[in-house]
Amino acid sequence: MSDVISRDQKQSWFYSDIVKEHFFNPQNFVMGELENPESYNATGKIGSPACGDELRVWLRVDPATERILEFRWKTFGCGSAIASTSMASVMITENGGLTLDEARKLRPQDIMTRLGGLPPRKFHCSVLCDKALRDAINDYLRRSNQPDRMIRESARVIDPVAKVTDRDIEEAVLEGAHTIELVQQKTKVGIGNPSILPAVEELIRFYKEKYFGATY
Ligand code: FES
Protein backbone atom coordinates (compact mmCIF):
# COMPACT_ATOMS: atom_id res chain seq x y z
CA MET A 1 0.00 0.00 0.00
CA SER A 2 1.48 3.41 -1.02
CA ASP A 3 1.88 6.32 1.40
CA VAL A 4 0.58 8.85 -1.17
CA ILE A 5 -1.48 8.62 -4.38
CA SER A 6 -1.49 11.60 -6.78
CA ARG A 7 -4.77 13.45 -7.38
CA ASP A 8 -5.14 11.93 -10.84
CA GLN A 9 -4.50 8.45 -9.28
CA LYS A 10 -1.78 7.83 -11.88
CA GLN A 11 1.21 7.89 -9.52
CA SER A 12 1.89 6.69 -6.00
CA TRP A 13 4.96 6.72 -3.81
CA PHE A 14 6.38 5.69 -0.44
CA TYR A 15 8.24 7.59 2.25
CA SER A 16 10.96 6.07 4.45
CA ASP A 17 10.31 5.75 8.20
CA ILE A 18 12.92 8.49 8.80
CA VAL A 19 11.07 10.88 6.47
CA LYS A 20 7.82 10.17 8.33
CA GLU A 21 9.51 10.66 11.71
CA HIS A 22 10.84 14.11 10.69
CA PHE A 23 7.54 15.06 9.06
CA PHE A 24 5.46 14.22 12.14
CA ASN A 25 8.06 15.54 14.60
CA PRO A 26 10.06 18.25 12.80
CA GLN A 27 13.23 19.36 14.59
CA ASN A 28 14.08 23.05 15.12
CA PHE A 29 10.79 24.08 13.50
CA VAL A 30 9.39 27.52 14.39
CA MET A 31 5.76 27.20 15.44
CA GLY A 32 4.02 30.60 15.33
CA GLU A 33 6.34 33.56 15.93
CA LEU A 34 10.12 33.14 16.33
CA GLU A 35 11.09 33.74 19.95
CA ASN A 36 14.00 36.12 20.67
CA PRO A 37 14.64 37.01 17.00
CA GLU A 38 17.48 39.30 18.13
CA SER A 39 19.53 36.23 19.18
CA TYR A 40 19.86 35.15 15.52
CA ASN A 41 22.46 36.85 13.36
CA ALA A 42 21.41 35.65 9.89
CA THR A 43 18.22 34.91 8.01
CA GLY A 44 17.45 33.46 4.58
CA LYS A 45 14.34 33.01 2.48
CA ILE A 46 13.65 31.11 -0.72
CA GLY A 47 10.65 30.25 -2.88
CA SER A 48 10.39 27.21 -5.12
CA PRO A 49 9.78 27.97 -8.81
CA ALA A 50 8.50 24.38 -9.19
CA CYS A 51 5.63 24.62 -6.73
CA GLY A 52 5.54 28.16 -5.26
CA ASP A 53 6.24 26.97 -1.71
CA GLU A 54 8.45 29.07 0.55
CA LEU A 55 11.02 28.43 3.27
CA ARG A 56 12.49 30.85 5.82
CA VAL A 57 15.50 30.03 8.04
CA TRP A 58 17.27 31.76 10.92
CA LEU A 59 20.85 31.03 12.01
CA ARG A 60 22.78 31.75 15.18
CA VAL A 61 26.43 31.77 14.16
CA ASP A 62 29.31 31.96 16.64
CA PRO A 63 31.42 34.86 15.26
CA ALA A 64 34.62 33.46 16.81
CA THR A 65 34.44 29.98 15.23
CA GLU A 66 31.84 30.59 12.49
CA ARG A 67 30.02 27.46 13.69
CA ILE A 68 26.25 27.37 13.21
CA LEU A 69 24.93 26.85 16.72
CA GLU A 70 21.23 27.12 15.88
CA PHE A 71 19.24 26.57 12.70
CA ARG A 72 15.53 27.37 13.02
CA TRP A 73 13.09 27.28 10.13
CA LYS A 74 9.52 27.66 8.98
CA THR A 75 7.87 26.57 5.74
CA PHE A 76 4.52 26.34 4.03
CA GLY A 77 5.99 23.55 1.87
CA CYS A 78 5.01 19.91 1.60
CA GLY A 79 5.94 16.93 3.79
CA SER A 80 9.18 16.31 1.86
CA ALA A 81 10.29 19.93 2.37
CA ILE A 82 9.48 19.63 6.08
CA ALA A 83 11.36 16.33 6.50
CA SER A 84 14.38 17.53 4.46
CA THR A 85 14.70 20.83 6.31
CA SER A 86 14.25 19.12 9.67
CA MET A 87 17.05 16.65 8.83
CA ALA A 88 19.24 19.48 7.46
CA SER A 89 18.78 21.41 10.71
CA VAL A 90 19.99 18.37 12.68
CA MET A 91 22.98 17.73 10.39
CA ILE A 92 24.04 21.40 10.47
CA THR A 93 23.91 21.81 14.26
CA GLU A 94 24.94 18.37 15.58
CA ASN A 95 28.37 17.86 17.23
CA GLY A 96 28.90 21.55 17.92
CA GLY A 97 27.64 22.73 14.52
CA LEU A 98 29.15 22.96 11.04
CA THR A 99 31.25 25.98 10.13
CA LEU A 100 29.87 28.22 7.39
CA ASP A 101 32.30 26.70 4.87
CA GLU A 102 31.37 23.13 5.91
CA ALA A 103 27.66 23.97 5.70
CA ARG A 104 28.12 25.25 2.15
CA LYS A 105 29.53 21.83 1.20
CA LEU A 106 26.46 19.97 2.50
CA ARG A 107 24.66 18.67 -0.59
CA PRO A 108 20.94 17.92 -0.99
CA GLN A 109 21.90 14.32 -1.76
CA ASP A 110 23.63 14.05 1.68
CA ILE A 111 20.35 15.05 3.31
CA MET A 112 18.37 12.64 1.13
CA THR A 113 20.75 9.79 1.96
CA ARG A 114 20.33 10.38 5.68
CA LEU A 115 16.55 10.48 5.20
CA GLY A 116 16.65 7.07 3.53
CA GLY A 117 15.73 8.59 0.15
CA LEU A 118 12.88 10.64 -1.26
CA PRO A 119 10.55 9.86 -4.19
CA PRO A 120 12.11 11.35 -7.41
CA ARG A 121 9.21 13.76 -7.93
CA LYS A 122 10.01 15.24 -4.50
CA PHE A 123 13.73 15.95 -5.02
CA HIS A 124 13.10 19.63 -5.75
CA CYS A 125 11.57 19.99 -2.24
CA SER A 126 14.86 18.96 -0.60
CA VAL A 127 16.71 21.68 -2.50
CA LEU A 128 14.71 24.44 -0.81
CA CYS A 129 16.66 24.13 2.47
CA ASP A 130 20.00 24.11 0.63
CA LYS A 131 19.12 27.37 -1.11
CA ALA A 132 17.68 29.03 2.00
CA LEU A 133 20.83 28.05 3.93
CA ARG A 134 23.05 29.64 1.26
CA ASP A 135 20.92 32.78 1.35
CA ALA A 136 21.30 32.93 5.15
CA ILE A 137 25.08 32.41 4.98
CA ASN A 138 25.29 35.33 2.54
CA ASP A 139 23.18 37.36 4.95
CA TYR A 140 25.62 36.57 7.80
CA LEU A 141 28.59 37.61 5.65
CA ARG A 142 26.80 40.80 4.60
CA ARG A 143 25.99 41.72 8.21
CA SER A 144 29.53 40.90 9.36
CA ASN A 145 31.01 43.08 6.62
CA GLN A 146 32.61 40.28 4.57
CA PRO A 147 30.96 40.84 1.16
CA ASP A 148 33.92 39.33 -0.71
CA ARG A 149 33.06 35.91 0.80
CA MET A 150 29.46 36.01 -0.41
CA ILE A 151 28.52 33.71 -3.28
CA ARG A 152 25.92 35.27 -5.56
CA GLU A 153 24.01 32.77 -7.66
CA SER A 154 22.31 34.83 -10.34
CA ALA A 155 20.61 33.29 -13.37
CA ARG A 156 22.58 33.13 -16.65
CA VAL A 157 20.78 33.17 -20.01
CA ILE A 158 21.61 30.00 -21.95
CA ASP A 159 19.22 30.37 -24.87
CA PRO A 160 18.28 33.97 -25.73
CA VAL A 161 15.83 32.76 -28.42
CA ALA A 162 13.69 30.66 -26.05
CA LYS A 163 14.64 32.89 -23.06
CA VAL A 164 15.89 29.92 -21.01
CA THR A 165 18.35 30.37 -18.14
CA ASP A 166 20.54 27.88 -16.27
CA ARG A 167 17.98 28.10 -13.43
CA ASP A 168 15.26 26.83 -15.79
CA ILE A 169 17.43 23.85 -16.69
CA GLU A 170 18.21 23.23 -13.01
CA GLU A 171 14.48 23.19 -12.20
CA ALA A 172 13.75 20.87 -15.13
CA VAL A 173 16.40 18.39 -13.90
CA LEU A 174 15.01 18.59 -10.36
CA GLU A 175 11.55 17.80 -11.73
CA GLY A 176 12.88 14.62 -13.35
CA ALA A 177 13.92 15.73 -16.86
CA HIS A 178 17.30 13.97 -17.08
CA THR A 179 17.82 13.85 -20.86
CA ILE A 180 18.14 16.62 -23.43
CA GLU A 181 14.81 15.55 -24.99
CA LEU A 182 12.93 15.81 -21.68
CA VAL A 183 14.54 19.15 -20.82
CA GLN A 184 13.55 20.45 -24.25
CA GLN A 185 9.96 19.30 -23.71
CA LYS A 186 9.81 21.32 -20.51
CA THR A 187 11.76 24.42 -21.55
CA LYS A 188 11.93 24.53 -25.41
CA VAL A 189 15.66 25.20 -24.98
CA GLY A 190 17.67 24.99 -28.21
CA ILE A 191 14.65 24.36 -30.46
CA GLY A 192 15.30 27.50 -32.52
CA ASN A 193 18.98 27.58 -31.59
CA PRO A 194 20.56 24.08 -31.79
CA SER A 195 24.14 25.38 -31.50
CA ILE A 196 23.67 25.75 -27.73
CA LEU A 197 22.67 22.09 -27.16
CA PRO A 198 26.18 20.91 -26.13
CA ALA A 199 26.17 23.58 -23.39
CA VAL A 200 22.70 22.43 -22.30
CA GLU A 201 23.88 18.80 -22.11
CA GLU A 202 26.82 19.92 -20.00
CA LEU A 203 24.44 21.70 -17.61
CA ILE A 204 22.16 18.65 -17.38
CA ARG A 205 25.22 16.54 -16.44
CA PHE A 206 26.28 19.16 -13.88
CA TYR A 207 22.89 19.34 -12.15
CA LYS A 208 22.40 15.55 -12.21
CA GLU A 209 25.76 15.14 -10.49
CA LYS A 210 25.01 17.95 -8.05
CA TYR A 211 21.62 16.65 -6.94
CA PHE A 212 21.68 12.94 -7.65
CA GLY A 213 25.36 12.00 -7.38
CA ALA A 214 28.11 10.97 -9.78
CA THR A 215 26.87 7.40 -10.09
CA TYR A 216 23.37 8.40 -11.11
S1 FES B 1 5.87 20.41 -3.37
FE2 FES B 1 6.51 22.40 -2.78
S3 FES B 1 8.13 22.06 -1.40
FE4 FES B 1 7.47 20.09 -1.93
For residue range 146-197, list pLDDT tens digits in order. 999 998 877 888 998 899 999 899 989 988 899 999 999 999 999 988 888 9
Of 133, 66, 64, which is closest to residue 97 (Cα–Cα)? 66
pLDDT (average), residues 47-74: 93
Portions of the chain given CATH number 1.10.10 = 157-212
pLDDT band at 47 (very low <50, low <70, confident <90, very high): confident
Portions of the chain given CATH number 3.90.1010.10 = 4-149
Give the pLDDT score at 140: 98
Tell me the CA–centroid distance for residue 82 and ligand 1, in Å.
Answer: 9
Residue 11 has pLDDT above 90, yes or no: no
- Nearest-atom number in ligand 1 for the CA of 53 is 2
Answer yes or no: is the C-beta of 69 below 6 A from any ligand 1 atom. Answer: no
CATH 3.30.1490, applies to 157-212: no
Give the pLDDT score at 174: 87
Give the pLDDT score at 1: 55
Give the pLDDT score at 4: 63
Of 177, 34, 21, 167, which is closest to residue 90 (Cα–Cα)? 21
78 annotated active-site: no
Per-residue CA distances from 43 to 57, 129, 176, 207 (Å): 6, 12, 30, 26
Answer yes or no: is the C-beta of 184 below 6 A from any ligand 1 atom. Answer: no
Tell me the CA–centroid distance for residue 86 and ligand 1, in Å.
Answer: 14
Contact 118, 110 (CB under 8 A): no
Answer yes or no: is the C-beta of 78 below 6 A from any ligand 1 atom. Answer: yes
Name the catalytic one among 82, 125, 133, 172: 125
- Check: pTM over 0.75? Answer yes or no: yes
Neighbours of 119 (CB within 10 A): 18
Answer yes or no: is the C-beta of 80 below 6 A from any ligand 1 atom. Answer: yes
**Separation between Cα atoms, residue 50 and residue 23, nearest integer Å:** 21
Pairing of strands 42-47, 54-61: antiparallel
**Separation between Cα atoms, residue 66 and residue 1, nearest integer Å:** 46
Helices (H) and strands (E) in the chain, counts: 8, 7
For residue range 68-107, list pLDDT tens digits in order. 999 999 998 889 999 999 999 999 999 999 999 999 999 8
Neighbours of 45 (CB within 10 A): 14
Residue 120 has pLDDT above 90, yes or no: no
Of 213, 35, 84, which is closest to residue 205 (Cα–Cα)? 213
CATH architecture of 4-149: Alpha-Beta Complex (3.90)
Residue 214 has pLDDT above 60, yes or no: no
Answer yes or no: is the C-beta of 84 below 6 A from any ligand 1 atom. Answer: no
Give the pLDDT score at 122: 80
